[in-house]
Amino acid sequence: MVTPAHEKIVDNFLENLKDIVTDLKNNPREADGMAAMYGAMASLLDPNMVIPFVQTFLDSLTQID
C-alpha cells in the first residue's frame, strides 16, 4: 500500500520496487507465507469462502497448543 507518507521516500521506494520486480522476473519462485494466502483466496471458486478461509488461517496463527 502506498500512502502520502511515501512522498518523502519516493525515489528510494521506486528504486527498491524496480529492483524487486527485476529480481522476481529473473528468478520466479513459488508463493509462500502471506502471498500464498492471498493467491489462494483469489483462486476460490466461491467468494463466500473468503471469510471462513481467513478466519481459519488467523485461528491457526493464534492457536495455543
Q: What's residue 24's pLDDT? A: 87
Digitized pLDDT (tens) for each residue of the chain, 65 residues in all:
678 877 888 899 899 999 999 998 998 877 566 556 666 666 766 778 778 888 888 888 777 76
CA distances 25 to 19, 29, 49, Å, are 10, 9, 31
Q: Nine-digit cell at 38?
A: 492471498
Distance between CA atoms of residues 63 and 65, nearest Å: 6
In this prediction, residue 47 carries a pLDDT of 74
For the chain, the domains span 7-62
Residue 48 pLDDT: 80
Residue 19 confidence (pLDDT): 94
Q: Which residue has the cell 502471498?
A: 35
Q: What is the pLDDT of residue 33?
A: 62
